[in-house]
Amino acid sequence: MAKKLNWGVITTGWIARKFATDLQQSRTGQLVAVGARQLADAQQFAADFGATRAYGDYAGVLADPAVEAVYIGTPHPWHTEWAIKAAAAGKHILCEKPLTLSLADTERVIAAARQHRVLLMEAFMYRFHPQTRRVVELVQSGAIGDVQLIRASFNVLCPFNPEHRMFKKSLGGGAILDLGGYPVSYARHIAGAVQGKEFAEPVKFQAAGRVNPATGTDEFATAVAEFPGGIVAELSCGSTWLNDNAVAIHGTTGWIAVPNPFTPGLGGQAERIVRHRRGAAPDEIVITSPDRGLYAYEADAVADALAGGAREVPLATWADTTGTARVLDAWLAAVGVSYA
């Protein structure tokens, strides 16, 4: 049996716990260390997930010689600092989205990964799930003809609390950074798939949204992007709407509905894709993934890339990450939100 990749986790929040849970179901990884601001939190996390070492800071994880790769799940504003420090420590990096708060910082992190020859991946976990791979196959097979329109939305109903990370500017709050990257990333992926590529860059982009005057962060926003070949994408995100999370891909002969595009199989449930065609009954495709949780797929993608000697994961390259950051920068600017 091949040696497993040794992971360290930086921070112990909900998403880090989900990653650690699913890592146990991965083909390739095992948790060996965890760091938190409070040692007791790290010790509890280590006990819950079988890590052998716990640290009362993040630096301890990076200094641990047994750790080969780190998962960074801190609030957004700390991603840049700890990703750069992880690169300098020679650790491979899986960092929660958004990788940073800006295109400029994204380029800094990528430069650090390149300089220290470590793998770096932004954690858009949906990319690796069988549901997304099946959607791409359908698009590329011509199952709905020529793609014309992509609708992608990620909205949640979050009770307003100016101290909550969703709303607080100093925590990187705002719907665009927290949620908007998903529809942007998904639309770029599908527009690229039409051309036989992993992503495409928009040639036109317009956006609007509402900023909360008390917090200075966006509550909801919408955008329209045009991609090569005349493909148009309607994008939306929001923190004040009842859950509206879906993708629809319209072509010349039909359309595909993806009711749960961004967290497929999160609770172990089966997912479904529905293809609609003129003159035919809807065609439902059921996607099951009983063996691995959603976050196990991205952990395996990191390990598989490393096993092949790569420092970029094919479905989440640095160019792809940079492109998404560029669009998010433009969306924030159009809405009138900036981060110091």
Which pLDDT does position 243 carry in this prediction?
75
Given the structure tokens 């791979």, which residue do they identify?
Answer: 133
Residues 151 and 284 in one domain: yes
Q: pLDDT digit string (tens) for 307-336?
A: 999 999 999 999 999 999 999 999 999 999
Residues 66 and 208 in one domain: no
Which pLDDT does position 2 carry in this prediction?
60
Print the domain residue range for 145: 126-293+322-335
Residues 99 and 35 in one domain: yes
- How far apart (Å, rounded) are the C-alpha atoms in residues 330 and 151? 19
Among residues of the chain, what percentage have pLDDT more than 70?
99
Q: How confident is the model at residue 1 (pLDDT cuts 50, 70, 90)?
A: very low
Which pLDDT does position 290 carry in this prediction?
78
Per the domain annotation, does 314 fall within a domain?
Answer: no
Whether the ω angle into residue 65 lies within 30 degrees of 0, i.e. cis, is no
Q: pLDDT digit string (tens) for 247-275?
A: 999 999 999 999 999 999 988 889 999 99
Mean per-residue pLDDT for 92-105? 98
Mean per-residue pLDDT for 233-254? 93
What three-state secondary structure class fits 62? helix
Is it the case that residue 294 has pLDDT exceeding 90? yes
Q: pLDDT digit string (tens) for 197-226?
A: 999 999 999 999 999 999 999 999 999 999
Is it the case that residue 231 has pLDDT exceeding 70? yes
Which pLDDT does position 244 carry in this prediction?
85
Q: Shortest CA distance to 72 belongs to which of 139, 25, 118, 141? A: 118
Per the domain annotation, does 310 fall within a domain?
Answer: no
Contact 152, 257 (CB under 8 A): no
Phi, psi of 143 (to 5 degrees): -60, -20
Which pLDDT does position 149 carry in this prediction?
98
Mean per-residue pLDDT for 270-298? 93
Report the domain count for the chain.
2
Domain C-terminal end among 84, 99, 123: 123
Mean per-residue pLDDT for 26-42? 97
